[in-house]
Structures are given as structure tokens and as C-alpha cells.
Amino acid sequence: MKKLFLLCCITAVIIVCVVARVTKYNQFHDAEINGKLESVYRNRDYVMISVNGEEFRIIPVSLSTAANFDEVAKVGDTISKMAGSDKFNLIHEEDEVFLYTVRKYW
């Protein structure tokens, strides 16, 4: 009986963790974003960004450079992304364009 209870608890924790990651990914994936970065910082394996008053938790992967997103991006840079897409552009200091995508869950 203890094993069954322990198995149920572990399964519940795993489900809660997976649902949280899927929800945050879907929020970013479904959003149309076109605006200036208001904040950018790393939180564990995520990068937290705020654009137009909305905060997103993403795992960015560069398609155009070896530099990490949180090393390149600065407050005031422009981000543009179409709804339903994982790819987005970072326009750094109004003259450099970097292309990124996001990892789905981890």
C-alpha cells in the first residue's frame, strides 16, 4: 500500500511539472510579439523576458550565432515573432539581427 501511495505522489509531481512547462511554452508559441524588451534575465534553465507588459519563460536556441540569448539581449532591443511560430528575431541595438527559436519543454 505504501508503494502505491508513493507511486501516486511521484506521478502527481511529475504531471504538475510537465503541465507547467507545456503551459509556458504554449503561451509563448501562441503569442504574437512585436515590441521592445522591458526585462531579460536567466532563471535556472529558462530565460525570462518581458515584452509589452507580458512576461514569457523561454529556452532560446540561436539559429544565427553561438552567443547565448541572455548574453546578447539588452533592455530596449526589439523582438518580433509571429503567432503560432517558435522562431523570433532579436534586433540588437537597432542594427544587428539575430534569429532564435525555442526548445519546447527542456
Per-residue pLDDT of the chain (106 residues; tens, 9 = 90+): 788 888 888 998 888 877 877 888 888 889 999 999 999 999 888 899 999 999 999 999 999 877 888 889 999 999 999 999 999 999 988 788 999 999 876 6
pLDDT at 106: 60
Residue ranges of E strands in the chain? 33-43, 46-51, 54-58, 60-62, 78-81, 88-92, 96-102
Q: Which three cell numbers stand for residue 64?
A: 544565427
